């Protein structure tokens, strides 16, 4: 016997006694009280029977024409999965013995999914004969065939290719399929409806227990012990002379969320005798092919619309109505929350609130902050030149550019360095999920819309292309070969356009996400609810503009060193590094002053008077020096020095532990000319930008402090620069000096440091690195192993470690506030944009969090949800 060899969601478990065997032996079938006929008053609840069962009861209460339905509780289904034979007689006695049944999953939250529905349970040779008389042999054969195929694949778990050669439909197809089933299983297709139903229930119950199913639903937020309910419903055969068919209808477009009747309808009556043949389809929307349902069954169409509107109002949700038309009359099989894109989720929530169906606070609670990422993704600009290497399957929308990497570990290392990367894999597996989290986009050679990479990519809102077989993936050599002969290797830059499926060479111009009115409305409501500030980490005018577009409260971190990497500045920076004396360094810095001043004026102007927190120079100087011989030779040329001098200097500056070496405030103390220049640039820019509007009050932040004396030394110089700029220009100005708390010692000594400054901003990236003694740049190598083995529950660079790093933060907050009440406290590490970490920051009493501009809406919504939950006394 050949069993299904494809990966299946079903777990491998011992066979359980079949219903037939149990019946034959007279074994006691489990008489479970959790099998409930759905009536208006039946004890059915979402937490015991799942969302679908509860929803069906609501529809019954609304007097909708819902076919008879029995609900099986989570407990019952778990018992079935554990090997107990369900009380089939008790279920069957609720139905007319002539009807067919369908079984559907009913998990607590419909988004957690569940096994696919099984239709036409009860179909057998006798009913086939009976239905052939009523609906024609081919139509009856189609029903039977569909059931046998579903049963064979999902219940008997036969290999799908058993049926590959059976091309015929209709009666011939049916008898071929029944024969193939018997050959494969050595048993005839089960004829007893009770036996069929028992086997279907068992297979669905066990599918829910499978590892893949569990991982997928946990990724959607389901708890590990989430239960599955099942509903068994009478099927409406759609027999009669009038219009018959089935379909779904909703009042919105699930992609855009715009109000528009959409759906599909498959007619059985329009001159077609085979249900499911796909040809006689009638479309609901008039701009599709063929007549509309409204044309062929106007009354049923109007009824359906009424039902959909009533559901929207009474169930307070945009619902998809699953229906059957029989003889021109509508039956409602189910109402499910309209599946929706993230964009549509925002539209729908906002419109429900605007229509007074739900309050704005509830609209806010209904949008998953993580899902906003999808809305916020950039696209390739429509006018951009596209160097298309191949087109694969567009599996997850949005576009991203990055350096290609070929393993998940490389992706994590790349993310730890802050470099966007494209994860290139033949196909992905669960081991790659951490790497996918870290990547800007994913590209796979194999797979389709429901392959691992596609499902996970969409879940993460990560641009993703799968099935890009037009490229040769030579992963051993870490190469991608295009059909035109071009070869791309690790580090080369590609762009993934997950919206069109195109893989592009290089970095085309991008278009920022279009954020519509509903998004803006949602953000306005969120802003009104937030009780923690949200700022952006923005280093460039472009970043600042993006941040302003999201109406941030200010810039919480401007990493000024990024400004020095720009062409033209780098050489000056290098000259400064090579200068022998403080005087020489100051002279070179003079040349950088106007450039920096211009940078800051731009930032101040864009932010229009909102606070801008500028961090003084942070990285070790050798990051600015070339590492290879060619670069060193070029530098020697530019500085008119012998190459050996350059080599010597580079060697002299190298450090064993650069992240713990001469960087941050340590440079400020030992090479003060850099901070002097930066402070002057900030203050001169302050006066320049203040001429045009609100006076600018810049925030100057000292990085990597570990001792109070460091602050005193730097503060003295900065105050002196401020005084001299004010006297030179004859104008006064205010500024706020702050300390970046990112070493454990600074947290512990916050009481000593706080009196010297107006604010403390906690840099949780370095703080995490130093608390764990874990290199930000190297952790990717073993992070997956650590998380997989449960050493860390999450990557602490991604989600704040509230236990260890969190305790240091709490100490810092407490000690800082005690010694300087009223001091501003914030978090500006990556964690500032992570919804889970924001919950901690809010509870710890931080005034604001600062995160990358595109995470601002996510952070704001998360913060709003926390505030709302706090008001109503529940977790979000
Ligand atoms: C930090 O360390 O948390 C931080 C924000 O600074 P950077 O990432 O630039 O080191
Ligand atoms: Mg830092």
Per-residue confidence at 281, pLDDT binned at 50, 70, 90?
A: very low
**Which pLDDT value is given to residue 490?**
95
Give yes or no for a contact between 744 and 767, defined as CB atoms under 8 angstroms apart.
yes
- Which of 34-38, 103-107, 154-158, 803-807 shows the lowest per-residue confidence on average (mean pLDDT)? 34-38
- The full 3-state SS of 406-469, as one line of letters, equals CCHHHHHHHHHCCCCEEEEECCCCHHHHHHHHHCCEEEECCCCCCCHHHHHHHHHCCCEEECCC
- Range scoring the smallest mean pLDDT among 276-285, 511-520, 644-653: 276-285
Asked if 562 and 539 count as a contact pair (C-beta separation under 8 A), the reply is yes
CA angle 746, 775, 439 (to 5 degrees): 120
Q: Looking at residue 460, what is its pLDDT?
A: 64
Distance 762 CA to ligand 2 centre (A): 9
Determine what percent of the chain falls in helix, strand and coil, rounding each to the nearest 5.
Answer: 45, 15, 35
Which position has the higher pLDDT, 14 or 230?
A: 230
pLDDT at 16: 39
- Token digits for 387? 């160097």
pLDDT for res 27: 39
Q: What is the pLDDT of residue 34?
A: 67
Per-residue pLDDT tens over the stretch 133-165:
887 888 889 889 999 999 999 999 998 887 777
- Ligand 1 pocket residue status of 829, Cβ below 6 Å: yes
Model confidence at 18: pLDDT above 70:
no
Top-ranked range on mean pLDDT: pick from 277-281, 357-361, 515-519, 693-697: 357-361
- pLDDT beyond 50 at 703: yes
Q: What is the pLDDT of residue 716?
A: 97
Question: 45 C-alpha to center of ligand 2: Å?
Answer: 50
Q: How far is 791 from 795, CA to CA, in rounded Å?
A: 10
Rounded to the nearest angstrom, the distance between the alpha carbon of 857 and the centre of ligand 1 is: 21
> Who wins on pLDDT, 460 or 579?
579
pLDDT recorded at residue 283: 57
Atom of ligand 1 minimally distant from the CA of 762: 3
pLDDT digits 0-9 by tens, 74-86? 999 999 999 988 8
Which ligand has the minimum distance to the alpha carbon of residue 617? 1
Give tens-digit pLDDT for 178-206.
999 999 999 999 999 999 999 999 999 99
Residue 476: what pLDDT? 83
What pLDDT score does 289 carry? 57
- pLDDT, residue 23, reads 47
Nearest CA to ligand 1 atom 4: 763
Mean pLDDT of the 503-516 span:
82
Q: Is the pLDDT of residue 30 over 80?
A: no
Distance CA 74, CA 201 (A): 12
Interatomic CA distance for residues 168 and 441, integer angstroms: 42
What distance in Å separates the CA atoms of residue 853 and residue 374, rounded to the nearest whole number?
14
Active site residue 828: yes
Report residue 768 as tokens.
Answer: 């995490």
Q: Which range among 326-335, 796-805, 867-876 shows the weakest confidence by mean pLDDT?
A: 867-876
573 CB-side CA count, 13 A: 23
In this prediction, residue 374 carries a pLDDT of 66
Give yes or no for a contact between 779 and 799, defined as CB atoms under 8 angstroms apart: no
Report the DSSP beta bridge partners of residue 246. Answer: 266, 324
Measured distance CA(841)–CA(763) in Å, rounded:
12
pLDDT tens per residue across span 339-376: 887 778 999 999 999 999 999 999 999 999 987 866 77
Residue pLDDT, tens place only, 437-494: 889 999 999 877 556 787 677 656 689 998 898 899 998 899 999 999 999 999 999 9
Confirm or reject: Cβ of 556 under 6 Å from ligand 1: no
Residue 561 CB less than 6 A away from ligand 1:
no
Determine the pLDDT at residue 459. Answer: 55
- pLDDT at residue 566, rounded to an integer: 65
Q: Which of 102, 99, 50, 101 is nearest to 336 (CA)?
A: 50
**What is the reported pLDDT for 284?**
52
Give yes or no for residue 620 CB within 6 A of ligand 1: no
pLDDT tens for 618-646 read 988 888 888 778 888 988 988 888 999 89
Using DSSP's 3-state secondary structure scheme, residue 555 falls into strand
* Pairing label, strands 759-762, 736-741: parallel
- In terms of pLDDT, which residue wins out, 288 or 168? 168
Read off the tokens for 848.
């604001």
Whether the model pTM is above 0.85 = no
User: If we measure between CA atoms, which residue out of 575, 595, 547 comes closest to residue 638?
Assistant: 575
Query: Residue 489: what pLDDT?
Result: 95
Query: Is the pLDDT assigned to residue 244 strictly greater than 90?
Result: no
The CA distances from residue 754 to 93, 198, 707, 750, 847, in Å, are 75, 69, 11, 6, 15
State mean pLDDT over 422-441.
85
DSSP-derived secondary structure for 852-868? -GGGHHHHHHHHHHHHH
Cα–Cα distances (Å) from 7 to 157, 172, 205, 213, in that order, read 11, 30, 18, 12
Q: In what order do the strands lie in the sheet with 479-481?
A: 472-474, 479-481, 487-489
Contact status, residue 443 vs residue 392, Cβ threshold 8 Å: yes
Q: Encode pLDDT of 544-576 as tens digits.
A: 988 898 999 999 999 888 778 666 788 888 888
* Listed residue (737, 682, 679) closest to 705, CA to CA: 737
Give the residue with greater pLDDT, 268 vs 686: 686
How far, in Å, CA of 21 to CA of 107, rounded?
29
- How many Cβ atoms sit within 10 Å of the Cβ of residue 219? 15
Report percent pLDDT > 70 for the chain: 90
* Annotated catalytic residue, options 102, 613, 708, 828: 828
Rounded distance from Cα 737 to ligand 2 centre (Å): 17
Give me the residues paired with residue 443 across strands. Answer: 424, 465
Closest to 347 in 3D by CA, of 449, 238, 250: 250
Q: Which helix (H) or strand (E) holds 826?
A: strand 824-827
Instruction: Name the catalytic one among 452, 622, 798, 831.
Output: 452
Task: Write out pLDDT tens, residues 374-419.
Answer: 677 777 876 789 999 999 887 887 899 999 999 988 999 998 888 9
What distances in angstroms separate CA 120 from CA 125, 196, 323, 572, one per listed residue?
Answer: 13, 10, 16, 77
Share of the chain above pLDDT 90, in %: 57
Mean pLDDT value across residues 237-244: 79
User: Which 8-state DSSP code applies to residue 116?
Assistant: P
pLDDT at residue 661, as a whole number: 94
Which ligand 1 atom is nearest residue 418's CA? 8
Token duo for residue 728: 């030179």
Range in 76-80, 239-243, 420-424 with the lowest mean pLDDT? 239-243
Task: Give pLDDT, residue 874.
Answer: 55
Q: Give the Cα separation of 300 and 745 in Å (integer).
A: 72
For ligand 1, whether the C-beta of 765 sits within 6 Å is yes
Torsion sign over Cα 328, 332, 333, 338: positive
Distance CA 312, CA 316 (A): 5
- Ligand 1 atom 3, closest CA: 763
- State pLDDT tens for residues 724-772: 999 999 999 999 999 999 999 999 999 999 999 999 999 998 999 999 9
DSSP state of 69: E
838 C-alpha to ligand 2 centroid (Å):
18
Distance 754 CA to ligand 2 centre (A): 18
Residues 6+ apart with CB under 8 A from 46: 53, 54, 108
Q: Is 831 in the pocket of ligand 1 (CB under 6 A)?
A: no
Q: Are the C-beta atoms of 267 and 357 separated by less than 8 Å?
A: no
For ligand 1, say whether the CB of 826 is within 6 Å of any of its atoms: no
Q: Residue 497: phi, psi to the nearest 5?
A: -100, 90
């Amino acid at each position: 016997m050949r069993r299904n060899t494809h990966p299946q969601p079903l777990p491998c478990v011992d066979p359980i006694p079949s219903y037939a065997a149990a019946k034959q032996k007279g074994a006691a079938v489990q008489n479970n009280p959790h099998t409930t006929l759905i009536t208006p008053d039946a004890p059915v609840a979402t937490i015991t029977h799942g969302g679908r069962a509860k929803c069906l009861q609501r529809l019954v209460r609304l007097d909708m024409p819902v076919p008879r339905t029995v609900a099986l509780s989570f407990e019952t289904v778990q018992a079935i999965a554990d090997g107990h034979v369900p009380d089939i007689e008790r279920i069957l006695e609720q139905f007319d013995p002539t009807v067919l049944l369908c079984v559907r999953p009913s998990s607590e939250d419909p988004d957690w999914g569940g096994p696919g529905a099984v239709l036409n349970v009860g179909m057998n040779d006798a009913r086939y004969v009976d239905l052939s008389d009523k609906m024609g042999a081919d139509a009856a054969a189609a029903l039977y065939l569909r059931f046998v195929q579903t049963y064979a694949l999902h219940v008997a778990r036969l290999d799908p290719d058993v049926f590959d050669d059976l091309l015929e439909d209709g009666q011939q197809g049916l008898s071929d399929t029944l024969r193939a089933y018997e050959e494969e299983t050595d048993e005839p297709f089960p004829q007893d409806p009770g036996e069929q139903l028992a086997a279907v229930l068992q297979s669905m119950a066990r599918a829910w227990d499978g590892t893949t199913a569990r991982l997928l639903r946990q990724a959607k937020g389901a708890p590990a012990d989430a239960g599955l309910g099942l509903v068994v419903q009478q099927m409406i055969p759609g027999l009669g002379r009038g219009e018959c068919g089935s379909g779904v209808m909703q009042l919105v477009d699930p992609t855009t969320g715009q109000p528009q009747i959409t759906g599909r309808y498959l007619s059985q009556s329009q001159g077609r005798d085979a249900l499911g043949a796909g040809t006689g389809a009638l479309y609901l929307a008039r701009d599709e092919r063929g007549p509309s349902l409204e044309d062929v069954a106007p009354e049923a169409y109007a009824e359906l619309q009424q039902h959909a509107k009533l559901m929207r109002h009474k169930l307070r949700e945009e619902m998809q109505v699953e229906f059957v038309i029989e003889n021109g009359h509508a039956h409602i099989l189910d109402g499910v929350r309209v599946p929706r894109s993230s964009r549509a989720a925002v539209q729908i929530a906002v419109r429900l609130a605007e229509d007074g169906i739900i309050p704005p606070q509830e609209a806010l609670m209904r949008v998953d902050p993580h899902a906003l990422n999808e809305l916020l993704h950039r696209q390739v600009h429509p006018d951009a030149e596209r160097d298309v290497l191949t087109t694969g399957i567009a599996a997850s929308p949005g576009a991203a550019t990055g350096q290609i990497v070929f393993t998940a570990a490389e992706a994590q290392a790349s993310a730890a360095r802050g470099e966007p990367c494209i994860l290139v894999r033949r196909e992905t597996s669960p081991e790659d999920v951490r790497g996918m989290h870290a990547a800007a986009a994913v590209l796979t050679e194999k797979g389709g819309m429901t392959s691992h990479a596609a499902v996970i990519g969409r879940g993460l809102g990560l641009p993703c292309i799968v099935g890009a077989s037009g490229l040769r993936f030579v992963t051993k050599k870490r190469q991608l070969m295009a059909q035109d002969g071009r070869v791309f290797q690790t580090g080369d830059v590609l762009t993934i356009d997950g919206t069109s499926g195109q893989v592009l060479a290089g970095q085309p111009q991008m278009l920022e996400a279009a954020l519509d009115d509903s998004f803006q409305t949602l953000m306005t409501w969120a802003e009104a609810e937030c009780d923690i500030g949200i700022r952006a980490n923005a280093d460039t005018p472009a970043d600042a503009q993006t941040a302003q577009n999201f109406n941030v409260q200010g810039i919480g971190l401007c990493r000024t060193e990024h400004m020095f990497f720009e062409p033209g500045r780098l050489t000056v920076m290098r000259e400064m590094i090579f200068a022998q004396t403080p005087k020489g360094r100051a002279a070179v810095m003079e040349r950088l002053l106007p450039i920096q001043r211009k940078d800051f004026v731009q930032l101040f102007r864009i932010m229009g008077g909102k606070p801008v927190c500028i961090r003084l120079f942070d990285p070790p100087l050798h990051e600015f020096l070339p590492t290879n011989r060619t670069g060193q030779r070029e530098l020697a040329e530019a500085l008119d020095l012998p190459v050996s001098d350059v080599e010597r200097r580079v060697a002299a500056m190298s450090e064993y532990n650069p992240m713990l070496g001469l960087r941050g405030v340590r440079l400020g103390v030992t090479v003060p000319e850099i901070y002097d220049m930066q402070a002057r640039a900030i203050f001169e820019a302050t006066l320049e930008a203040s001429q045009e509007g609100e006076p600018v009050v810049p925030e100057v932040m000292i990085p990597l402090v570990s001792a109070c004396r460091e602050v005193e030394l730097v503060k003295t110089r900065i105050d002196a620069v401020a005084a001299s700029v004010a006297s030179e220009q004859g104008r006064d100005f205010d500024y706020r000096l702050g300390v970046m708390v990112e070493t454990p010692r600074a947290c512990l000594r916050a009481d000593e440091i706080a009196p010297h400054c107006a604010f403390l901003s906690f840099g949780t990236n370095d703080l995490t690195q130093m608390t764990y003694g874990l290199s930000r740049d190297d952790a990717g190598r073993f992070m997956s192993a650590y998380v997989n083995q449960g050493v860390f529950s999450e990557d602490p660079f991604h989600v704040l470690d509230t236990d260890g790093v969190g305790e240091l933060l709490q100490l810092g907050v407490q000690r800082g506030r005690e010694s300087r009440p009223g001091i501003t406290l914030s978090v500006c590490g990556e964690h500032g944009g992570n919804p889970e970490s924001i919950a901690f920051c809010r509870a710890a009493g931080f005034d604001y969090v600062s995160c990358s501009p595109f995470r601002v809406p996510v952070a704001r919504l998360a913060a709003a949800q926390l505030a709302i939950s706090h008001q109503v006394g529940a977790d979000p």
